[in-house]
Amino acid sequence: MNAHIGTFLSIGSPTIAELAALSGFDWVLIDLEHGSGSESAVPEQLRALRGSKTRGIVRVGAPHADLIARVLDWGAHGIMIPHVSSAATAEAIVQAAHYAPRGGRGYSRSVRAHDFGLRPAEQAPAPIIMAQIESIEGVKHAAEIAHVDGIDVLFVGPADLQHDLTHRAAAAPGDFAKCLRLVVAAAKDAGKETGILARDLGDVPHYLEQGFTQIAIDSDLAILRKSWQQILSKFRSQS
């Protein structure tokens, strides 16, 4: 599989979303779990992507059917759900994201996802569903989660997973490196993709070698913070 590069959008700005698309990212993650933007900021960010090849994935804060349906109605190409640790949760997510007969999502022809009634809903592609594996339980059940029809990507949340491993190491199937291998193997066995957030560009070659195909490079907020720190550090060292 070819690798696809994305980035997290935490600030909630449509200008930044547009710039990310113009820069050529394959996808962006509009973050409603930890980001600064509210739900009301999502539609404008999605509009900023229109006409580009950049897919807009929205991370909702929890696997609630109303949250999932709302961002998909607004035109998100897909969703990311945090803390998926069982096949039952994964199946409920798929049910919430799909219309009948696959799921129970409420049906409306007039939402933005269907060009406000100008495009038949039947022509809309299936939403991309990224299930986040970020706990020991998620790693242990990665194989069952990956085999749920409709789950496209097992996306590792490294910070949460490392935090869980630090505090509950005795319950883990191995260290962080082994957990990554287990998740990649589970996804590969099910014919699914694996993703991860890389805070350091230097980690990307290693992730690619491991088999990760959906790699997010940092976030808008973190990139801005690091750049400002570098500017100020260089200025102060010369003044």
Which of the residue ranges 15-19, 51-55, 123-127, 180-184 would you say has the lowest mean pLDDT? Answer: 123-127
Percent over 90 (pLDDT), the chain: 96
Residue 196, pLDDT score = 98
What is the per-residue pLDDT across 89-130, written as a single tens digit (0 to 9) for each?
Answer: 999 999 999 999 999 999 999 999 999 999 998 888 999 999
Residue 239 has pLDDT above 80, yes or no: no
Name the 3-class secondary structure at 106. Answer: coil
Compute the distance between CA of residue 145 and CA of residue 154 in angstroms, rounded to an integer.
Answer: 8
> In 112-128, which positions are buried (b, 16+ CB within 10 angstroms) versus exposed (e)?
ebbeeeeeeeeeeeebb
With 70 as the cut, is the pLDDT of residue 35 above it?
Answer: yes
74 close to 43: Cβ distance less than 8 angstroms: yes
Determine contact, residues 90/83, Cβ cutoff 8 Å.
no
Statement: residue 88 has pLDDT above 90: yes
Structure tokens at 234: 């260089």
Give residue 40's domain range. 4-238
Give residue-wise pLDDT tens across range 209-224.
Answer: 999 999 999 999 999 9
Tell me if the bond preceding 101 is cis, omega within 30° of 0. Answer: yes
Domain count, the chain: 1
Find out whether 147 and 187 touch, Cβ atoms under 8 Å: no
* pTM, 2 dp: 0.95
Any idea what the CATH number is for the domain that residue 163 is in? 3.20.20.60
171-176 average pLDDT score: 95
34 catalytically annotated: yes
| Digit-coded pLDDT (tens) for 49-67 | 999 999 999 999 999 999 9
pLDDT band at 1 (very low <50, low <70, confident <90, very high): low
Distance between CA atoms of residues 181 and 139, nearest Å? 10
Residue 2 has pLDDT above 90, yes or no: no
pLDDT at 45: 98
Q: How far is CA 230 from the centre of its chain?
A: 28
> Considering 34, 163, 167, 206, which one is annotated as catalytic?
34
Confidence check: pLDDT of 31 > 80: yes
Arithmetic mean of pLDDT, 149-178: 96
Q: Give residue 123's pLDDT.
A: 86
Which DSSP state fits 77? S
Q: What is the mean pLDDT of residues 72-84?
A: 98
- Whether the per-residue pLDDT at 206 is higher than 80: the answer is yes
